[in-house]
Amino acid sequence: MKQKMLSLLTIAILGLAALGGRTGAGTAARDTNNGWELGEAIRYENITIFPVLSSESAPTSEFATLDEALASGEATISEQGSAGLRRTRAGQAVRIPEIEGGGASVNRLVLVNRGKRPLVLLAGELVSGGKQDRIIAKDRIVAPGEKPLPLDVFCVEHGRWSAGTEFASAKVMVHPSVRERAAVDQQQTEVWDAVRAGSTSGARAESVIVEAAPPLSSRSIQSAMAARAPTESYAKLYNSPATGVPIETFVEEVQKRFERSTANLKGQRVVGVVVAYGAEVAWSDSFASAELFAHYWNKLLRSYAIEALARPRSTEQADVQDARDFLRPLQGRETTESQPGVYRWREIQSGHYAEIRLEALEPSHLTLHRMMIHRTS
């Protein structure tokens, strides 16, 4: 009997190892801490979006988002080495303090949070202005106060290094292929390569049945970004006719279907999404509350749409079980960064997957943002 029990235990261990670092195979799509469930799939062309639903909601109004803080003047972002008196868009005079590190730098800006609330930054959020547009390098929280913070960023604009100091929120999130390179790879060259390529998903093309070329090619992306100006600016992707692709039409159709599908939820609200392209579940963004998700949803949806249009077309579709499997927590190599009393950033990598969690430590301890990534490299 003892030998039989040992054999069964060995089989169970081998079975868990075969899951490639994931836990909870075959379980319902529910997060043990947040009570997450999956809603009905929303499908359009080669994109499928599964709403992440929860009957619980954390008190996230005590946090400020980047868009809110920059618009109100509660936060300022400026080029390194640009100390002095500046005015916000609202006309408010603010002083930019000195910070060590010399002059302007491609991968370093200065942020000051003068508001009364902790400021949430997400990897891939675009800030425009200064000497060239940048994106936030990784998720983090900035405590309120006067002390200037050296802010790690990546460039997403080539061809301009002009006289500018202040930045504003562009209300744009770069698409997943670029966010992945910023949040996980943390390399400027790879970020820019992903911008130019549109989608980096070709690394696994051998496992996908491609039925049509992507509508948004790398050539059309570069043409749109360089159109009518001596610079290649990422923000032009959303409004340039040079792409030759009706991006807003795509976004509006997905949004219409999303609203119709989630309009009559009973006792639950949308706190995130799982996104698939063709048969591949590729990305997930989930938040601590429906209010926080709603703030980011419009720019997240546009980022998912750019990725969908930049990927080869396939009529294969992911199903709800694929999305359930994707949401399971990872087990693997873990990296942690933290600031006592402010936040903890955790990244877990296992095979082709990565999980990133942004945890607030004060005024309450909760996971503000959880990002799941199917790596393209």
Q: Average pLDDT of 22-46?
A: 64
**Could you give the C-alpha distances from 318 to 39, 229, 284, in angstroms and in order?**
14, 40, 14
- Cα 135 from chain centre: 11
Does residue 124 or residue 192 have the better pLDDT? 124
* Arithmetic mean of pLDDT over the chain: 82
HSE (side-chain half, CA atoms, 13 Å) at 152: 12
362, 341 in Cβ contact below 8 A?
yes
Using the predicted structure, report yes or no on whether residue 43 has a pLDDT greater than 90.
yes
> What's the pLDDT score for residue 13?
35
Using the predicted structure, report yes or no on whether residue 200 has a pLDDT greater than 70.
yes
pTM to 2 decimals? 0.83
Using the predicted structure, report yes or no on whether residue 27 has a pLDDT greater than 50.
no
> What's the pLDDT score for residue 230?
66
Neighbour tally for 312: CB within 10 Å: 19
44-89 pLDDT, tens digit each: 999 999 999 999 889 899 999 999 999 999 999 999 865 544 554 4
- In this structure, is the dihedral angle defined by the CA atoms of residues 330, 42, 301 and 242, taken in order, positive or negative? positive
Residue 182: name the closest of 306, 354, 367, 47 by CA. Answer: 354
Query: How confident is residue 225, by pLDDT bands cut at 50, 70 and 90?
Result: confident
CA 39, CA 53: separation in Å to the nearest integer?
A: 6
> What's the pLDDT score for residue 166?
77
> What's the pLDDT score for residue 75?
94
Run of H or E residues at 47: strand 47-54
Neighbour tally for 68: CB within 10 Å: 17
HSE (side-chain half, CA atoms, 13 Å) at 191: 26
> What's the pLDDT score for residue 41?
97
177-186 pLDDT, tens digit each: 999 999 999 9
Cα torsion at 313, 319, 320, 322 (round to 10°)?
-80
9, 2 in Cβ contact below 8 A?
no
Does residue 34 or residue 77 have the better pLDDT? 77
274-311 pLDDT, tens digit each: 999 999 999 999 999 999 999 999 999 999 999 998 88
